[in-house]
Amino acid sequence: MPGLRRAAASGEGNRQSRPVHLRLALEELGPTFIKLGQILSTRADLLPPAYISELERLQDRVPPEAFETIRRTVEQELGQPITAVFDSFDSEPLAAASIGQVHAATFPDGTQVVVKVQRAGITQVINEDLEILADLARLGATHSALLRQADVAGLVKEFSWTLRSELDYRREAAHVDRFRQAIGSDSQFRIPRVYTEFSTRRVLTLERIDGVRIDQYDPTGTADTRGATIAARLVAATAFQVLRTGMFHADPHPGNFAVCDDGALAIYDFGMVGAIDDQLRDRLMLLALAVSERDASRIVDEVALMGALPSGWDRHAMERDVSLLVSQYIGASLRDLPLSMVVTDMMDLIRRYGVQMPSELALLAKTVSMLEALSRRIDPDINVIAVVDPIIRDAMRQFYSPAFWIRRYRLQPLDALMLGATLPSQVQRLLWRLDRNDLTFNAHVADLPDLLRNLNAMVNRLVFTVMTAAAWLGTIFLYRGVDPDMTAFPGVLFLLAFIVLGGMVAYGLYAMWRSAR
């Protein structure tokens, strides 16, 4: 691969070039692996910062597909000639990526739209790649305890679901509609309308909203169009999405945002959307409160409740490290700290202790870091925490609302009644099995296969050493019993056997010592 050779020829050291090699390899392997790298770039809880930074640079821009192929796809999906639907349809795409490309078009009534069209044959290519990834994940998990701990098979399964969802533009259309409903009549934001009657699994037709790309926007202007206002609006939009709708735009790069003439923020491309449930959202707000209060014990509690802890995790050690981390923030206002620094420090700690965080949370952490970087390009003086803090505190008022607790526990009386109805029969069956001495328990120990494998290897080394030592000692007794002439063939044979078996005993003892180490 030419890209890999160029990276190897660079002046970077081997350790520094490995992330570069990984990125170049994924780009060479095609769209599925590029998407995999982009997803992995959101998992700061799994990969070191050097790999995260390099995977963020993955690009899936490819040469556009021939317009005749695009025309056939549109006509097949819409069931009529392209000229019957659109008054004009630009043959040159506005943007081209590995899965699809976007074209400008106009309806007969003059309405300007953009049409997102999927590449021909891309579904088959991605399905084949996903099968290969699944096989590699199963093979890796079989032979590596580290990959099993990271649940690589689960990650590939989740990635497969995400990528296959991107292949169905109807899902993206549903996301757009939900976000439009969430913002309602708020004039600060613009989300394109979906033309459902001209959208299918492989074609998505959206309202065209013109504006200046957010990183090319002139920050001077009125109060509503200044850079500081636009940057704060960008941050507030994501905070509102997370805390109010449970969904958030998870791909905040500059090409997905534009500033309209009136200063409204236009948001595009809802192919990658994150979602968190009510319980995780509540835990996030409590974690934010614990961080603001610098309560190390509560921070550990919230992290433990949100993630899957590895067996044998050391709570006291983790709490000590959190205390050391929090001590760095003492004397500084939390509002003066970069949010990305707080998130990065927390993710480093989570990765160090092997805590498996929900993928939604990892995606949110990545989105927050990207969002802060983008907002600082617009307004270098922005304080993201200062913008988000009042939104979080406003959302936390729900914990003091009786309506919130009534809604949260509205099904609890029903659950209690159902438990009361089934409990007597369950207790009766339990007592009956106890009376017959027929009660058994099944336990699953996650690390038992590794433990048995290591124990088996240790026993094999011990048996090998004992048997070799016995043979070594046997040569000594045979030599003393036979007492051959050391210059004759039997004497030389005994000497060679003594040396070889002695070396094998030494090797066995060394292997046992090294295993114990």
Interatomic CA distance for residues 343 and 52, integer angstroms: 14
Burial level of 397, CB count in 10 A (0-12/13-18/19+)? Answer: exposed
Cα–Cα distances in angstroms (integers) from residue 331 to residues 294, 320, 335, 386, 419, in the given order: 11, 19, 12, 17, 52
Q: Cα-flanking dihedrals φ and ψ of residue 75, to 5°? A: -70, -35
Residue type, 243: L
Q: Which of the residues 45, 129, 251, 379 is marked catalytic?
A: 251
Residues of the chain with pLDDT under 70: 1-16, 42-46, 59-61, 146-147, 149-151, 218-226, 308, 311, 329-340, 404-405, 407-409, 411-412, 439, 441-451, 472, 476-495, 498, 505, 508-509, 512-517
Interatomic CA distance for residues 302 and 318, integer angstroms: 13
With a CB cutoff of 8 Å and minimum separation 6, the contacts of 313 are 353, 354, 355
Active site residue 135: no
- Helices then strands, each counted (H, E), the chain: 21, 11
Q: What is the pLDDT of residue 197?
A: 93
With a CB cutoff of 8 Å and minimum separation 6, the contacts of 220 are 226, 227
Tens-digit pLDDT profile for residues 148-186: 766 677 777 777 877 888 889 999 999 899 888 887 777
Interatomic CA distance for residues 37 and 150, integer angstroms: 16
Q: What is the pLDDT of residue 47?
A: 74
> What is the DSSP track for 103-117?
EEEE-TTS-EEEEEE
Angle formed at CA 165 by CA 162 and CA 166, multiple of 5 degrees: 90
Q: What is the pLDDT of residue 113?
A: 96
Please say whether the beta carbons of 248 and 280 come within 8 A: no
Q: What is the pLDDT of residue 205?
A: 96
Q: What is the pLDDT of residue 7?
A: 42
> What is the DSSP track for 271-306?
SSEEE--HHHHHHHHHHHHHHHHT-HHHHHHHHHHH
Q: What is the pLDDT of residue 170?
A: 92
Angle formed at CA 448 by CA 442 and CA 449, multiple of 5 degrees: 120
